Chain A
């Protein structure tokens, strides 16, 4: 009498299922060990003003820039990292000093800074973010909003030790 757990049918079903997932690469082993660092985006550093002060919020607020900072390789959230943010907003051009500000990540490696509404400039509604401190390699990001009427934008950093 065939075993109820291992007969020809279960062997065929589990065997082909394992092939379908494993051999085709639909399931990959956890990638956290090899988390690749974020590359600087084209135009990310445009109108950068190094050393923007850490602020409660930029200008009058109403728009949220948020994201995470993790370490390349193991993906550990990085606490207390300084992220600089600037954009063309309802209160000023990218080059204006008052359009710039910085914030620090919390214990979960998350940051969140309120700023004025970003408006389209140079053809796209977009923001700029920089990680430019000593411990990790410098990264400049330039995320684009999917719609100019959005009131928030996210950007995520994976940093490589310097």
Chain B
């Protein structure tokens, strides 16, 4: 790949990932929030950015990485995603325990909350499945279908969650990030060569 093109792809990726974080760091709402609440909110924004990295790696769209490296980074990014969600929920719990209890019990007054909670459980299920994959001797086809289905739930849930929130994320960078995450996740899900392999592996 030509040098310039490689640089442009990495620059564009860095821009899409960094802009929401920088914009959120400049949010006027931060002035009226205590550190724990700020960290909790940021953990959520970082999680949204990590969601976009996952399909980029699987589609091999980031230049200069071989498939082994891509899968290794995908695993570490997945672990970071779990950590960011735990920080998000724990930080919100410290800020306002009754609101988080409502969220976890699906009795929250806010429409975006159940989307986030469902995405969280799908994420935890994915992590457990990834760890247990070998022990369970999952066939590639079973694993691929389960992981992709869970990924769709995670990305859809997180995107609806984020879009409906009036929070620290700036609208344009949030919508851009969310649109790309949905588009790339659908691209992975309906990748023609993978679908062909799934049909053969029956």
| A122 and B99 within 8 A (CB) | yes
| A89 and B166 within 8 A (CB) | no
**0 or 1 for each of A110-149: is its CB under 8 Å from B? (1 = yes):** 0000000001111111000000000000000010000010
| B95 and A46 within 8 A (CB) | no
| B98 and A89 within 8 A (CB) | no
Given that A41-B109, A42-B108, A42-B109 are known contacts, is A124 also in contact with B102, CB under 8 Å in the complex?
no
Answer whether residue B142 sits at the interface, using C-beta atoms and an 8 A cutoff. no
Interface residue tally on A, bucketed by range: 20 to 34
Among A41, A88, A123, A124, max chain B CB count under 10 A is at A123
Q: Chain B residues near A120 (CB, 8 Å)?
A: 29, 166-167
Query: What's the nearest-Cβ distance from chain B to residue A9, in Å?
Result: 54
Q: Chain B residues near A41 (CB, 8 Å)?
A: 109
How far apart are the CA atoms of A121 and B110 in the complex, in Å?
11
| B29 and A46 within 8 A (CB) | no
How far apart are the CA atoms of A23 and B29 in the complex, in Å?
53
Answer whether residue B193 sits at the interface, using C-beta atoms and an 8 A cutoff. no
Given that A93-B96, A95-B96 are known contacts, is A122 also in contact with B32, CB under 8 Å in the complex?
no
Q: Chain B residues near A42 (CB, 8 Å)?
A: 102, 107-109
How far apart are the CA atoms of A117 and B3 in the complex, in Å?
52
Q: Chain B residues near A119 (CB, 8 Å)?
A: 29, 32
| Residues of B near any A CB (own CB < 8 A) | 29, 31-34, 37, 92, 95-96, 98-99, 102, 107-110, 112-113, 164-167
